[in-house]
Structure 1
Amino acid sequence: MLMSSAQTEVAQRSFARSLPALSILALAMLLGFAAMQSFGTVQEGAKAEMGLSDYALSLIQGLSAALPLALFSIPIGILVDRHHRVRIMIALVGAFVAGTWATALASGPWMLFVARMLAGVGATGALTAALSLSADLCAPDQRGRALVIVGLGKSLGQAAAFGVVGELFGWFVAHPAAFGGIAPWRGSHLALAALATLLMVPLFFLREPPRREVATGLHAPFRVVAGALWQRRGFLLPLFLGQVSVVMADAAGVIWAAPVLARVFKLQPQDFAAWMAPLMFVAGTAGAALGGVSADLGQKGARRGGLLIGAIVAAAIGIPAALFPIAPSVPAFAVAFGTLILCGSLTGAATSVALTVFIPNELRGLCIGAFLAVAGLIGFGLAPTLVAATSGLLGGEQHLAGGLAIVGVATSVVSLIAFIVAMRRAPIGQRPI
């Protein structure tokens, strides 16, 4: 029997048929988030070589990511809404690959700062394009599963930032004459940059999918698009606040986890790489899967904002998990840290699904870009420095663990309240508003 045009479109947008393209997007996210977070694993080596303080490290790790996000995320989002997304994504992947090369070759703090800027804007900008592409590759009722695949790549990248980079660091420590006696933290980034250059090739085989669920037109004036987004502020503002607060807790945790392990438990990157990488991967993957599944299930119920129930539960669990820096032992540290990453990944997946389900196609890139700008400016720009400032108020750099715990718990409480408000203000019905 012949299928109708609607049935044909549904078949073409099935999860199974979209899996190869989604896998390429996941690979790009793996590379991007490995590049973006790689420096945090080996930053103690750079600190010793360049004589950097915790405050300087917080700027290199945080502000270097926040500044380009604040400046470029919205323009990138608009480009994603209106132009060829695959080409945009290739350019952004090239940016974070270049940033990884530049990190390895940085001659001083300022060059290192610029290199981390490139890595940050490339990875997060590519995420905007990947989410937009994923939404058009699958039908709305399968979108949670599609975003799980992209989230899987992100989780693998975060794990690789600890595991692969940590193991590379250990190899260069064990072979001090390799590559002309290059410092281990630099050698780790050289190897990562070479691998990323090779693995970005599949992106050139990705095809642009047709855009669907368009409400105002792809080329509507910006004031019309911005106005349409502003009309949705009752739902979007608390949703943004909830996820930005989660990003603050997660960014601070990921950036300062390695220094806490080094200073409190006297571990080096090669000592914790073997267990930190699987922990990051399992927690991130499980969180993304649970977030996608809970969002898809929430869409089937009649409860208003049911799509966000999983995010609320995860935000609540994240409050005690944020105490991981003051855990009494390494195993307790690992359990709490892994739980925090799982909860952050779950809320991120649920938020992404909410944006792709409730927001029309031509607004998604701008909406995601605006979120990344705010999340970058506050989450990456403020959170790491806030931890350094809090530890200073507690008595100095030796109180890093306490400062990190205070910031993590406070931001997790804010996220819980904000997600509850967002759920109550969610649009009625699972369709773009």
Structure 2
Amino acid sequence: MPSDAAVPAPTAEVRPTRTALGLILLALTIASGAAMQGSFSPVQEFAKADMGLSDLQISMVQGLAASIPVAVLSIPLGWLVDHTTRVRILIAMAVVWTLGTLGTAFADSFGLLFVARMLAGLGATCCLPVAISIAADLCLPHRRGRSLLLLTMGKVGGQAGAFAIGGMLFSVLAASTAAPLFGLTAWRATHVWFAVGSAALILPLFFLAEPTRKEVSKPGAALGISLQELWERRRFLAPLFIGQVGVVMADVSAGVWAAPVLMRNYGLQPADFAGWMGLAFLVAGVFGAVLGGFAADWGHKRYPGKGILIGAVIASGLSIPMALFPIMPQVAGFGVLLSLLLLCGTIAGLITATAIAVLVPNEIRGLCLGAFVVIGALVGLGVAPTAVTLGSTLLGGEDKLGLALTITGVATSILAFVAFFMAWRAAPKSASDAV
């Protein structure tokens, strides 16, 4: 009979109730960040007219503003995630995106708007590797796909809320006869209310406990050693990153330019599409998270290692025809294909995160996720929106935005399919296996 001292005391991370509460809180935090990052999209046409901006400037605000600081900070942030208290980093990121959202409301020039959206995008994007690292240590490896689906659902819930709540709130504020909030126009006042909600959601994070790290084989490894370990896994990680970048490019382009296409090509206003477009993000995200989580866990159990990526290969292949949504003759076709594209993107994104959480050692997991965010930010966020704008210019002008969005979506989806197939072939069986 072992002594009491030999029996480990129960910890917060192994109690199902506390684990579930921790994952729900992480999901709410990611939802808040995603909503703050996406809050500008449903009202950007009004901001463009109000501030006299061009499509190119809007693409920079929506793309480069988020990608530049993320690209600079994600690697050191990833290292900090592996070596410091992650909950504190998460709180700091939430404060950053809240300030960025509030700054959006009061920006009176392109430069100030760029900085404000930079802060909103920085916090929302950089919180993902932090949250995934915490969530991975709250769960056992064979349950991480299903656990991370809660985080994915939080992200898509935030994106859906940005369109649904943002569009409806804007419509209410625009139609109101009451005195404007702080004398602000409707699109600016919308961002004030978003910032208030975000600030309220920061408070519960102070009750989130830091979980014990699992699967650490080389604790305290220097940055150079950690980078060397990532390089040794390049045959698997490089195509995995490229595949997810392709998915991010397609999804970001759709998220940024779908609303302008609906307004320009189909003659709709935010009140006409805010509800169903928000629902499309939500439904695609919920079903995509569930399908992706179960597909990753089933695949890894059936075919250890490689099996995790089967769902990503299939989803990225199906997304190719779905990228034709901007040139559908009817709004109904537009909505259906957009929803399916987002569904496939959610599946692939969750499976990618699960693959990193399962097949990459803990001591370099945060750094790996940070590198993943850098590449995604530089290409997915930074290049995709501007590529669509430049494409429409080459095709004849801003009225060709829908065709340019279609070409970008199809090309990036093909890239994702090929890359995920290569990652599937090179995947190790576990985090401890050589690649």
* Same fold (TM > 0.5): yes
Cα shift readout 1:257-290 (whole Å, capped 9, x = no counterpart) = 1100110111111221111111110101111111
Distance 1:291 1:250 in 2: 16
State the SS of the aligned residue for 2:39.
helix
Distance 2:405 2:30 in 1: 27
Structure-2 residue corresponding to 1:194 = 196
Distance 1:5 1:89 in 2: 34
Superposed CA RMSD in Å reads 1.9
Do the aligned residues in 2 keep the contact of 1:15 with 1:138 (CA within 8 Å)? Answer: no
Question: 1:428 Cα shift?
Answer: 2.7
Question: 1:419 Cα shift?
Answer: 0.3
Structure-2 residue corresponding to 1:203 = 205
Change (3 A) 1:407 1:9: farther
Change (3 A) 1:26 1:11: closer
Distance 1:12 1:278 in 2: 33
The amino acid of 1:105's aligned partner reads F
Question: 1:75 Cα shift?
Answer: 1.2
Cα shift readout 1:326-363 (whole Å, capped 9, x = no counterpart) = 11111111100001111111001000000000111111
Structure-2 residue corresponding to 1:127 = 128
Structure-2 residue corresponding to 1:156 = 157
Change (3 A) 1:304 1:77: closer
Do the aligned residues in 2 keep the contact of 1:314 with 1:346 (CA within 8 Å)? Answer: yes
Structure-2 residue corresponding to 1:38 = 39
Runs ≥4 in structure 1, deviation > 4 angstroms? Answer: 1-12, 14-17, 429-433
The amino acid of 1:22's aligned partner reads L
Cα shift readout 1:395-421 (whole Å, capped 9, x = no counterpart) = 000000000000000000000000000
Question: 1:14 Cα shift?
Answer: 6.2
Do the aligned residues in 2 keep the contact of 1:74 with 1:366 (CA within 8 Å)? Answer: yes
The amino acid of 1:276's aligned partner reads M
Do the aligned residues in 2 keep the contact of 1:15 with 1:145 (CA within 8 Å)? Answer: no
Moved more, 171-180 or 378-387: 171-180
The amino acid of 1:263's aligned partner reads R
- Counterpart pick for 1:213 among 212, 215, 223: 215
Structure-2 residue corresponding to 1:118 = 119
Distance 2:365 2:7 in 1: 23
Distance 1:11 1:139 in 2: 14
Structure-1 residue corresponding to 2:361 = 360
Structure-2 residue corresponding to 1:307 = 308
Question: 1:178 Cα shift?
Answer: 2.6
Cα shift readout 1:111-165 (whole Å, capped 9, x = no counterpart) = 0000011011101111111000000000001111110111111011000110011
Moved more, 234-243 or 260-269: 260-269
Structure-1 residue corresponding to 2:399 = 398
The amino acid of 1:206's aligned partner reads L
Alignment of 1:386-425 (within 5 A): 386-425=387-426
State the SS of the aligned residue for 2:221.
coil
Change (3 A) 1:5 1:39: farther
State the SS of the aligned residue for 1:157.
helix
Do the aligned residues in 2 keep the contact of 1:15 with 1:142 (CA within 8 Å)? Answer: no
Question: 1:301 Cα shift?
Answer: 1.1
Distance 2:312 2:17 in 1: 26
Distance 2:44 2:323 in 1: 22
The amino acid of 1:226's aligned partner reads L
Distance 2:325 2:364 in 1: 38
The amino acid of 1:353's aligned partner reads T
Distance 1:302 1:150 in 2: 24
The amino acid of 1:193's aligned partner reads A
The amino acid of 2:21's aligned partner reads P
Structure-2 residue corresponding to 1:238 = 239
Structure-1 residue corresponding to 2:62 = 61
Distance 2:433 2:195 in 1: 40
Structure-2 residue corresponding to 1:182 = 184
The amino acid of 2:281's aligned partner reads M
Distance 2:245 2:263 in 1: 28
The amino acid of 2:145's aligned partner reads G
State the SS of the aligned residue for 1:200.
helix
Question: 1:227 Cα shift?
Answer: 0.5
Structure-1 residue corresponding to 2:372 = 371
Distance 1:200 1:8 in 2: 30
Distance 1:257 1:432 in 2: 43
Structure-1 residue corresponding to 2:87 = 86
Q: How many residues were matched structurally? A: 432
The amino acid of 1:199's aligned partner reads L
State the SS of the aligned residue for 1:214.
coil
Distance 1:406 1:59 in 2: 20
Do the aligned residues in 1 keep the contact of 2:164 with 2:274 (CA within 8 Å)? Answer: yes
Structure-2 residue corresponding to 1:27 = 28
Change (3 A) 1:357 1:51: same
Change (3 A) 1:311 1:181: same
Please say if 1:297 is aligned against 2:304.
no
Question: 1:57 Cα shift?
Answer: 0.5
Cα shift readout 1:283-341 (whole Å, capped 9, x = no counterpart) = 01111111111000011113651110110110011001111111111111110000111
- Can you give the 5+ residue segments of structure 2 that lack an aligned partner in the other structure? none
Structure-2 residue corresponding to 1:346 = 347
Change (3 A) 1:10 1:427: farther
Question: 1:15 Cα shift?
Answer: 5.3
TM-score normalised by length of structure 1 = 0.96
The amino acid of 2:367's aligned partner reads L
